[in-house]
Structure 1
Amino acid sequence: MFWLKVYKFLGIVFFELFKFYLLISGKSSEFNSLRMGSFPDFPKSRIWVHSVSVGELKAVIPFIKELKKRKYKIVLSVGTRAGFKLAKSIYGKDASVFVTVIPFDCVKTVKIFLNKLKPTAVFFVETELWPLFIDECKKKSIPLFWLNGRVSDRVFKSKGIYRIALSWMIPQFDLCLMRSLEDLRKASLISSSGHYGNIKGVCLGDIKYDKPFRKPTLKRSDFGIRDEKIIVLGSSHEGEEKIAFSLFEKLLKKFKNLKLIIAPRKLERIEHIKKILSNRKVLNWSNLNKGNKEMFDVLMIDEMGTLSQIYSIADIALIGGSWVKRGGHNPIEPCFFGIPTIFGPSMENFREVAGDLINSGGAISASEYELLDIVENLLSDDSKRKEVGLLGLEAVNSRKGISKRMINEVEFLL
């Protein structure tokens, strides 16, 4: 395949360029060393699970827990610094789970990695698919699975090289465990368009429903908050902070003690966001965490990995990425705490989950122009707010057990 030859060549070029960059910049670290192929001695004969970053890592925690129950040993790899940090904090002292970083998808590093690891089976999570790893796994007859498989609308509609690569990659999997029927349909159409073979796939649901409940570790008093109402905007993208702040300003006319908490998807945008909020008292979460309990109007979450617990103290949760064309983020997290959840029209990345929550009455879809009336009504009616939150919690709890069903489906190949 011509595209795969080109991909292999480009992989070598980028590998050498990044190697040179590290040499002249002096930016050596454990993360970069692992990316470049300086691997430790892996424990052998383990199942390899790869999730790229924090969101995917949190999603596979219950899946890994179920594997451990069945006495399997796991190597868990990630692809970002934030994911590596979180994985080490969760599994650093767990003898059943070895944490590492996936190397560059380059011929040299792929072969070294797989020869050292010798996995008994491989699971790639959601959209994190790498052609050379898939190719080498097939050559070595290693069982290969696509876990919680997801195909975005953007990829499905594209005509580029990734679409061609995907049409080859999908048939290579021994089984594709797709998160929704829509994802299974799109993967099947992409697979059949490439003439490399058909998908071997099933839909058992989204493993994000299996996220273990964590008792809230935060209290409103930690924020110096007592009776104030709290709106949390989670995983926001550029343009959504303006929408939330405009909503906040209008609501303050009726709800004098209202607080807004913003957790941007990208922390490097925080200083830019603060300029939008210049006429309000803004406090960073990291400062509050150090014991600074001065009053604030807007709290800015400037640390990764805290959003889930922040949702637990909210009165209303707004899901970022849904009022701009980013496909939305996970609406399940606030529902775990019984928090009324609202998202915009762009929820393509969680279409089936969003539909389930809306149909259950546990979440609301609202355009930018509908937000004010919906949020105002919920803030004014404590019983309605509680009802919506409980319906969301019931919807999430009723769909648990997906990780167990997935392992049952593939265990004969492990």
Structure 2
Amino acid sequence: MLLFARFLYSLILLILMPLACFYLYVLRGRKNPGYRQHFGERFGFTDAGGDIILHCASVGEVLATAPLIKALLKDTDHYRLVISTNTPTGREQINQLFSKEIKAERVQVCYLPFDLPLAQRRFIRRTRAKMLAIIETELWPNLLQQAQKAGLATLVINARLSEKSAQGYARVAPLTRAILHDIDLLACHHQDDGQRFVQLGLAPHKLNVTGSIKFDISVNDAQRSQAQALKSRLGERPIWIAGSTHPGEPELLIAAHNKVRETQPDAVLIIAPRHPEQFDKVAQLLSEQNISFSRRSERAHQGEAILLADTLGELTMLYGAADVAFIGGSLIERGGHNPLEACAHGIPVLSGQHTFNFDHVYPALIDEGGALWVDDHNLVDTLNSLFSEPQKCAEMGASGLKVVQQNQGAINKTLALIEEQINA
């Protein structure tokens, strides 16, 4: 049954491959030419090589895993890493964060191939890796099987599994059991996540509850300095940031900002779209509404109502320039994004209620008073309340920072598991 499930999965994927190539190379390639570059890597033709393949699907996973990667490079000088990703923005983020390590050939970056057996076999053979480490839930059946066949230790890091996702995996139970069979070790956020994996077929001895590495975030001196410099440039004004917004949200957030400025005429909104292809679309939206704005890439803010953050790799720093943070992907059914980058700066967090991607984070933040649920109806009142009560703002920020600090430690536990597996 397992063999048939895997065969059927691979056959369907092979049939759909022309459509997948058309979608990435033509449709996505029109919006972002990066999808057309290094396209051979999508079929396993890579020159990257190293001891550990670390797969981070996109920007969010790259940013969340960066502290772990830095700790791994620092503590184990003899390892070289191949960091794979699915998107051009993820690749660019890796190049930015690890430029020195890439030059020193400690880190190499490539795209993860389509999940075809031959492509994954070629990819693993060319990298000559000893371990495959996957971040969160990028569980590709043929990737895991080919890694096992090649003798690689297979580790899933920072794994999470919501009730909704578990129900989806249960619908393809034979394939799910095959996936979980090929995992040597799974390090997950919480016991509840782990129990769901076990119910789906993961052997209990493979499970480790380490907590989330996303809590092990820290703001470095350079980011603090840059944030303070930007805040000084914006002036003594109420500042809020909307980070990682998705289509459908900018319209709501801009409308809310216009209303906020009725009572806070000097208020500034920093809006940071999640994907680069949205930068010009948001700029066009602002122009059509005759709203004064500047672009972060031009470094020339002169008191406009909105600062469009059209750069990559600066979001963590930008949170530090604001008084309040709204986390995007949550007013729509996208599942939300990481609020901990804002919490690490000690500022209050606001979020819509579609946060199923961070069910392991928000309950503690809400319970401790570091975050508040909002919608497009009460967002304005909530912002005005926080702007008019600096003490409440400070208390919320302190509560969020406390939650971050109390839940740290997953990186050290994960490093120990990596060492244990690769040396087994």
Whether TM-score is above 0.5 comes out as: yes
Q: Give 1:159 shift.
A: 6.9
Query: If each structure's helix is expressed as a fraction of its own residues, which one has the higher value?
Result: 2
1:104 equivalent in alignment to 2:129:
no
Do 2:48 and 2:109's aligned partners in 1 also have CA atoms closer than 8 Å? no
Aligned pair partner of 2:404 in 386, 396, 400:
396
Corresponding residue for residue 57 of structure 2: 52
Map 1:2-401 → 2, pairs under 5 A: 2-15=4-17, 30-40=37-47, 42-43=49-50, 46-68=51-73, 69-71=75-77, 72-91=79-98, 92-158=102-168, 165-191=175-201, 200-215=206-221, 216=223, 217-219=226-228, 221=230, 224-274=233-283, 277=286, 278-285=288-295, 288-401=296-409
Which ranges in structure 2 are unaligned for 5 or more consecutive residues? none
Matches of 1:290 and 1:31 in 2, distance apart?
A: 29
Q: Note the aligned Cα RMSD (angstroms).
A: 2.9
Do 2:169 and 2:176's aligned partners in 1 also have CA atoms closer than 8 Å? no
Report SS of the residue matched to 1:177.
strand
Report SS of the residue matched to 1:128.
coil
Report SS of the residue matched to 2:359.
helix
Matches of 1:266 and 1:105 in 2, distance apart?
A: 24
Do 1:344 and 1:365's aligned partners in 2 also have CA atoms closer than 8 Å? yes
Report SS of the residue matched to 1:253.
helix
Residue 95 of structure 2 aligns to which amino acid in structure 1?
K
Matches of 1:279 and 1:29 in 2, distance apart?
A: 34
Matches of 2:19 and 2:139 in 1, distance apart?
A: 22
Matches of 1:50 and 1:381 in 2, distance apart?
A: 43
Do 2:244 and 2:273's aligned partners in 1 also have CA atoms closer than 8 Å? yes
1:408 equivalent in alignment to 2:408:
no
Report SS of the residue matched to 1:289.
helix
Report SS of the residue matched to 1:321.
coil
Matches of 1:321 and 1:274 in 2, distance apart?
A: 19
Which ranges in structure 1 are unaligned for 5 or more consecutive residues? none
Moved more, 241-250 or 312-321: 241-250
Matches of 1:22 and 1:348 in 2, distance apart?
A: 30
TM value normalised by structure 2: 0.85
Matches of 2:290 and 2:25 in 1, distance apart?
A: 42
User: Structure 1 residues 259, 163: closer, same or farther in 2, change over 3 A?
Assistant: farther
* Per-residue CA distance 1:63-86 (angstroms, 9 max, x = gap): 222322033332221121111112
Report SS of the residue matched to 2:263.
coil
Matches of 2:373 and 2:282 in 1, distance apart?
A: 25
User: Structure 1 residues 126, 367: closer, same or farther in 2, change over 3 A?
Assistant: same
* Per-residue CA distance 1:89-126 (angstroms, 9 max, x = gap): 23222433222222222222211111222321211111
Matches of 1:245 and 1:374 in 2, distance apart?
A: 15
Q: Give 1:229 shift.
A: 0.9
User: Structure 1 residues 39, 300: closer, same or farther in 2, change over 3 A?
Assistant: same
Matches of 1:290 and 1:392 in 2, distance apart?
A: 32
Percent of paired sites with the same residue? 26
Q: Give 1:252 shift.
A: 1.5
Matches of 2:303 and 2:310 in 1, distance apart?
A: 17
Q: Give 1:316 shift.
A: 0.6
